[in-house]
Each structure stands twice: as structure tokens, then as C-alpha cells.
């Protein structure tokens, strides 16, 4: 199923239903007009915004109502583009929305600065005079953490007019990567076919060594050949974020991005320190892989092939994966199961890899409408795990949207990967239990558990280290050239690989393959989330109902408190290194279990 098809040829039941957002183009157009009218109404509210408590409440409510409508418009346009990045009509939808959102941002740019500028006594007085403002207590407090970083209304208005310009580097990179880049043809499974990202993943797990090397070589060449364009977009993005940080009086872009979720910068540094302190375990795994595969030289194209030397023992269809994920997530209770069945039955998921479709997988949602999931399906365990992962995001959205008002529903980025990786852990534990006594399947699943940890803790920490280098280098006034980026990425990568893995025998620009570098200090949270999720999944499986109840309270919390406080209530203190040390201890036990199984 890795071969791309035209979108019109995809079975309807394997596509998402955008009609649940807007049934027709006319409905979308009407909603755009309504959003514009709401913006116009809010634009006139600035002068009297803080005149009295009743008016203040009315404007706050209208502001968030307008944002909720814009979210639905933005999601519709985003999904239309994602399903086919070459679709001109979808591009026009996105342009229409971007203009509408930019207009809203510009004409309501006074909203947060005014709240930040209000004396604390005035805010407290309004809260007392207007009881309905109690619903906005946490949101108003969150806005007021920006004291010292919000500019004057005129300056904020000027910045807002550059909204789409600030995102242009990411947009250009995405178009180049998803629509323009090609990887050539490759001979696989008896046919010559176009190499795609999805097919490459399949080849790395199933093909002979020569084909794996060829796929890796072609893939690397595509990015290396376009390294100067990718470097230009990366430089532009880093410069934009560093400039915004300076304009808003933050110490750095990292300070700005972590402050948005009230995360201490020490959390980032502790992750990097703890990861480097445990690199010996990572090197031990690569040495094990080299030994078990009987290779004189271990290359990167040998890192995904099963350690048993056979093809992967799992090849689930999408239908089989849905059934397995349901069974694996049964410990989370009947209500969780009901939501999953709704997801599978009512076209929340766009399944197949089709021409022009955005690569990878994601979940997104707008308040008041069910979540949407994008996949690029292949019949692999990895795809089944991705479905569980994205469904974890979807279920967190469902629970938070049920429990929180719009302004507190969107869980912060720092907690966004916990539910997804908890699902991955539960799936792996279920499959290990179901396949006891089957050596090949046990080895495959233990390898998957180990490599999931590597991919979401070690690998993302590696990327976080490189991301920190890029921001700090650009902030110091040194241009980010393609050659320098490649050299630094290679240096960090080989430190993580250790002595067992050989460098690739061709020039590379692998850093260009990682779109998450445009997400503004996002990737470190994969690592912290995996460490947290490891503990939560263990509690769910060993403690039962009390742990499930606590976990669902976490899912319901949304953005109703700071991430640090929400996680403390779930028993995780991210301000200390303990949770990371426990996670690496779990990784060590999984590695030892794999070593023992391989020794049989």
C-alpha cells in the first residue's frame, strides 16, 4: 500500500469528511463573512474595553467566540491543503483564511496588551463585580504572564500585519519537501516504482541490504541537491524567531518559546544532560544490533531491519490495526473505547498515501468539531502504532473539549505528546502479552519498544541539541550555511550513534528532512513526554482503575492550569530529573530483556 494513488481513486471510507466542518464551499464563504463581521465589531471595542466589568466580560466573550469560528475555518483550509498540496482551490481557501485571520489579528491586537496593562486591582474588581468572568480566571492570568513582553497596541498591530510573512519560511520548506521534491525510481518487490517517504520506510524494514542502501542514497541525494534552498529557509526562520524574541524583550528565542507554556529553561538543559549521561545504553544497543546481524560494518540503513534477520512478523491492514488498537487500549475504559469507535466509524481519519498529500501523520481539531487524523498508511506495525499515537492526540482533544470551555480547551504543547506516547506503550505491552512464546515476535516487539524510546527520547534530544545550536548561532550573528549545518548535524549525530555505527559514505543534508525545526523548540517535548508516558502507562497496567481515573483527569485538564501543575497532580514533577532517570532505567530493562531473548 506504499504506492501512491490519485486522491480521486481513494475509497471514500478511507478519507476524512471535511463536510463535518463545512458542508459546502458556500458555507465556508458565509463563515468567512461572519468572521469578518465579528472582527469589524471587535475592532470598535478597543476604547471602551475596560470601561466597566459588564462591557469587559462582553468583549472577552465575543473575542473568544470569534477565535473559535476562525479555528474551524483555519482547520478546514489546512486539511484541504494537506490532502493535496498541489490543489489550487485548496491553496485559495488557505489564502482566504490567512487574510481573514491576519485581519482579525491586526484589528484585535489591542486585546492582550490592554489586559496586560490593566492594574491588578482593576482586574480583581471586575472579577468581583461580574461573576461570569470567573470562567475566564485562568485564561486572564495566563495572558497577564506576558507583562514586559507585550508591546504597545500600535506596535502589536504592526507585528500582526506580518503574520503570514513570519510563517513564510515554513510554508516554502513544506511546499518544497512535500510537493516538489522527488527521490527517483527504485526496484522493489519485483517492480520499478517511484521512491516515496512511505515506501522508503517499508524498504528499510523489509528489503535486502543493497536495496536499503540504494533507497538511503537516493533519499539523501534529494535533500543534498536542494541543501542551499533548505538552508535559506532555515536561516530565515531562525532569524525571524530570534528577532521576535528581541522585540518582545525575551532573553532568547528559547526563553520566549518555553515561557509560552510556563516551562523553566532548566527542563530543557536537564534533558540534554541526562541524555548524554545515558548515551552508553544507546551505544550498547547499536553494538548489540551489529553483533546480532553479524555485520563487519553497521550502517544507518541497517538500523530498522528486524534483528531476527527476517521480514517483520506483523503486516496489519488498516482494518486489522483498528481492531488491535481497540483491544490494546481497552484498559482505558468503555468511554474511551466508545470515542475510538466513533473515530473509526465516522471518517475522522484520512488513511492512504495519495499524490500531493502532506507526508507523515498528524491530528488536529477545532473546538465544537471532532478531531481529524492524517495518515500515510503502510501495512506495518509502525503504521498501527502511528494510528494509536494519533488517536491518543484525538482522545485528549475529545476529553478536553468535553470538559473545558473554548478558551481553556487546547492542551499546551508541553503535554501534547503524552497521551499519544502512552497509547504507543499500551499497544506494545498488549502485543508482547499476546505473542508470548513466539521468539521472532517477541524480539520484534522488544526491539520496537527499545527503538521507540530511542526515537522519542534519544533522537529528539539529539534534534533539540541541534536546534539549540541553530538558534544560538544565528542569534550570535553567524549565518547558517548549508555546509555548517551539515557538519554540526553530523558531529552531533555521530556522538549519539557511537562507535558501532559507521558514517554514511555520501554527502548529506539530513537536517533538511526534519520539518519540526520550524515548530519553535517543539522537539524536546517528545523526549519529556515519552519519559512521562512510560510512567503513566506502567501505572495504568499495574494499578488499574485509580490510575485510569487520574489519567483521564489529565486528559480532561486541557489548558486549565500550567503544565507543571497539571502533571504534578498526575504524579510527575518535571522540575526534577527523577522522571528522566526512571525512564532511562525502564529503557535499560527493556534492552536487557531484548538481550536475553536474543540469547535464547
Q: Which residues are catalytic?
A: 390
Of 329, 529, 351, 333, nearest in space to 431 by CA: 329
**Is 541 exposed, middle or buried, given 0-12, 13-18 or 19+ CB atoms closer than 10 A?**
middle
Cα-Cα end-to-end distance for the chain: 35
CA dihedral 198→211→297→499, nearest 10 degrees, is: -20
List Cβ neighbours of 218 (8 Å cut-off, separation of 6 or more): 183, 184, 186, 195
Q: DSSP letter for 458, please.
A: I
Of 373, 348, 356, nearest in space to 81 by CA: 356
Edge-first strand listing for the sheet containing 349-350: 349-350, 372-374, 362-364
Q: How far apart (Å, rounded) are the C-alpha atoms in residues 48 and 65?
A: 19
Count Cα atoms within 13 angstroms, Cβ side, for 493.
Answer: 16
E strands, 6-105, are none
Q: How far apart (Å, rounded) are the C-alpha atoms in residues 97 and 117?
A: 30
Of 264, 110, 116, 367, nearest in space to 577 by CA: 264
Cα 567 off chain centre by: 19
Whether residue 465 contacts residue 492, with contact meaning beta carbons closer than 8 Å, is answered with yes
CA-based angle 301:304:309, to the nearest 5? Answer: 100
Amino acid at each position: 500500500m506504499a504506492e501512491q494513488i490519485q486522491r480521486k481513486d481513494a475509497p471514500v471510507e478511507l478519507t476524512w469528511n471535511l463536510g463535518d466542518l463545512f458542508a459546502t464551499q458556500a458555507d465556508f464563504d458565509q463563515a468567512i463573512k461572519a468572521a469578518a463581521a465579528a472582527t469589524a465589531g471587535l475592532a470598535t471595542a478597543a476604547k471602551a474595553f475596560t470601561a466597566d466589568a459588564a462591557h469587559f466580560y462582553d468583549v472577552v466573550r465575543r473575542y473568544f467566540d470569534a477565535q473559535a469560528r476562525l479555528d474551524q475555518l483555519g482547520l478546514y483550509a489546512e486539511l484541504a491543503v494537506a490532502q493535496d498540496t498541489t490543489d489550487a482551490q485548496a491553496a485559495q481557501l488557505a489564502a482566504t483564511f490567512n487574510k481573514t485571520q491576519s485581519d482579525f489579528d491586526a484589528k484585535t491586537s489591542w486585546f492582550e496588551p490592554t489586559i496586560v496593562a490593566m492594574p491588578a486591582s482593576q482586574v480583581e474588581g471586575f472579577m468581583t463585580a461580574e461573576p461570569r468572568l470567573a470562567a475566564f480566571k485562568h485564561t486572564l492570568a495566563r495572558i497577564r504572564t506576558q507583562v514586559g513582553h507585550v508591546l504597545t497596541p500600535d506596535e502589536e498591530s504592526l507585528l500582526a500585519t506580518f503574520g503570514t510573512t513570519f510563517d513564510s519560511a515554513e510554508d516554502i520548506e513544506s511546499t518544497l519537501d512535500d510537493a516538489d521534491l522527488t527521490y527517483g525510481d527504485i526496484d522493489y518487490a519485483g517492480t520499478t516504482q517511484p521512491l516515496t517517504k512511505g515506501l522508503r520506510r517499508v524498504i528499510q524494514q523489509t528489503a535486502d541490504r543493497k536495496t536499503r542502501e540504494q533507497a538511503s542514497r537516493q533519499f539523501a541525494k534529494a535533500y543534498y541537491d536542494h541543501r542551499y534552498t533548505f538552508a535559506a529557509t532555515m536561516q530565515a526562520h531562525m532569524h525571524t524567531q530570534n528577532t521576535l524574541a528581541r522585540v518582545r524583550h525575551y532573553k532568547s528565542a528559547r526563553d520566549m518559546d518555553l515561557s509560552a507554556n510556563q516551562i523553566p529553561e532548566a527542563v530543557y538543559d536537564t534533558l540534554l544532560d541526562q541524555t548524554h549521561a545515558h548515551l552508553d545504553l544507546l551505544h550498547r544497543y547499536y553494538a548489540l544490533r551489529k553483533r546480532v546481524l553479524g555485520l563487519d560494518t553497521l550502517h544507518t540503513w541497517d538500523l530498522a531491519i528486524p534483528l531476527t534477520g527476517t521480514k517483520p512478523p506483523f503486516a496489519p491492514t488498516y482494518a486489522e490495526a483498528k481492531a488491535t488498537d481497540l483491544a490494546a487500549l481497552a484498559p482505558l475504559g468503555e468511554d474511551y473505547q466508545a470515542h475510538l469507535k466513533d473515530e473509526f466509524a465516522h471518517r475522522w481519519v484520512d488513511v492512504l498515501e495519495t499524490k500531493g498529500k502532506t507526508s507523515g501523520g498528524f491530528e488536529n481539531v477545532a473546538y465544537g468539531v471532532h478531531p481529524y487524523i492524517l495518515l500515510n498508511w503502510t501495512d506495518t506495525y509502525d503504521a498501527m502504532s502511528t494510528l494509536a499515537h494519533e488517536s491518543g492526540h484525538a482522545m485528549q482533544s475529545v476529553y478536553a473539549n468535553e470538559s473545558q470551555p473554548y478558551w481553556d480547551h487546547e492542551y499546551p504543547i508541553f503535554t501534547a505528546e503524552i497521551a499519544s506516547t502512552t497509547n504507543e506503550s499500551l499497544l506494545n505491552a498488549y502485543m508482547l502479552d499476546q505473542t508470548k512464546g513466539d521468539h521472532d515476535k517477541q524480539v520484534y516487539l522488544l526491539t520496537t519498544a527499545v527503538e521507540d524510546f530511542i526515537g522519542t527520547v534519544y533522537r529528539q534530544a539529539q534534534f533539540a541539541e541541534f536546534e539549540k545550536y541553530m538558534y544560538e548561532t544565528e542569534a550570535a550573528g553567524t549565518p547558517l550555511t548549508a555546509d555548517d549545518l551539515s557538519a554540526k548535524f553530523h558531529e552531533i549525530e555521530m556522538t549519539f550513534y557511537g562507535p558501532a555505527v559507521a558514517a554514511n559514505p555520501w554527502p548529506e543534508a539530513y537536517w533538511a528532512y526534519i520539518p519540526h525545526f520550524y515548530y519553535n523548540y517543539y522537539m524536546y517535548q517528545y523526549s519529556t513526554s515519552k519519559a512521562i508516558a512510560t510512567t503513566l502507562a506502567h501505572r495504568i497496567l499495574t494499578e488499574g482503575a485509580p490510575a485510569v481515573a487520574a489519567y483521564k483527569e489529565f486528559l480532561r485538564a486541557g489548558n486549565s492550569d500550567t503544565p507543571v501543575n497539571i502533571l504534578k497532580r498526575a504524579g510527575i514533577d518535571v522540575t526534577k530529573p527523577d522522571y528522566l532517570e526512571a525512564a532511562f532505567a525502564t529503557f535499560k530493562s527493556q534492552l536487557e530483556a531484548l538481550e536475553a531473548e536474543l540469547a535464547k
